[in-house]
Structure 1
Amino acid sequence: MTTPLRPAVRAFLLVNEGLAFLLELLALGLLAWWGYTRDIGTAGSLVLAVTAPLGAAVLWGMFAAPKARFTIPYAAQLAVKTVVFGGAALALLVLGGRLPFVWFAVTVVLNTALASYYRTRS
């Protein structure tokens, strides 16, 4: 039997889930930006700008989303999140340097750790 969460904890979890959604959108945007800036010709850049975030979104929706198409073990979900967020973090490193990369990566790790901690406790 689980104990009900205090209102402050519920509010914190709601904010953390909102941040997770914003980080997911940012990851897709970073992948699109990275694809667009590749010097492979205009058509190639546009294709990569569409396919990189689309591939990440499909992977996320199939395996890592709260209502994912396929149910996989939690460790595998974390692996999918690592691939998507790791790709976005590397894209940011290429695009913006070390400091934005570090901020994004640390925020993703803390957000995911907090969500995982409370998800496994309830």
Structure 2
Amino acid sequence: MLSLAKNLNLLVMFLLELGVLGATGFWGFTVGQNWPLRLLLGLGTPALFIAVWAVFGAANDARIPLTGLARVALEVLWFGGGAVALVMAGRLVPGLVFAAVYVVNAALRLLWHQ
């Protein structure tokens, strides 16, 4: 039963990762009234987040994998960025829920050494 919970927690982390990309893209498409800027931010912000995650955060596939406090800082900035993007796009409750799910997920990963 515990292994199922651990696997579900890893699934939640993956879904949170996708949620960050969706949230940052959503924010980008809601900024201002200038369509070219919205297009640039809506596509560029998730691309920037993808690049950072690929270089530093993608577990075994990262070019420069971070550990310890550096990994904690990366995750807080990455997932916090997703939550902040939702709040800045006018979606306060989804942003708070996103942050809360991340905190529970991170605590369980720490507890279970994932």
TM-score (norm 2): 0.90
2:53 match: 60
SS in 1 for 2:66: coil
| CA distance in structure 2 between the aligned counterparts of 1:45 and 1:98, rounded to whole angstroms | 20
Q: In structure 1, list runs of 5 or more residues that go unmatched.
A: 1-7
| Within-5 A mapping of 1:1-122 | 8-39=1-32, 41-67=34-60, 68-119=62-113
- Could you tell me whether the CA contact under 8 Å between 1:63 and 1:71 is conserved in 2? yes
Q: CA RMSD in A?
A: 1.5
| CA distance in structure 1 between the aligned counterparts of 2:27 and 2:67, rounded to whole angstroms | 30
| CA distance in structure 2 between the aligned counterparts of 1:46 and 1:104, rounded to whole angstroms | 24
1:4 match: none
| CA distance in structure 2 between the aligned counterparts of 1:38 and 1:28, rounded to whole angstroms | 16
Question: Which amino acid in the other structure matches residue 47 of structure 1?
Answer: L
TM-score (norm 1): 0.85
Count of residues in Structure 1 that have an aligned counterpart in Structure 2: 113
Quote the sequence identity (%): 31
CA shift digits 1:19-73 (9 cap, x unpaired): 1000110110000010011115111111111111111111111111222111322
CA shift digits 1:54-105 (9 cap, x unpaired): 1111111111122211132221111111111111111111224432222111
CA change 1:119–1:30 in 2 (3 A) is same
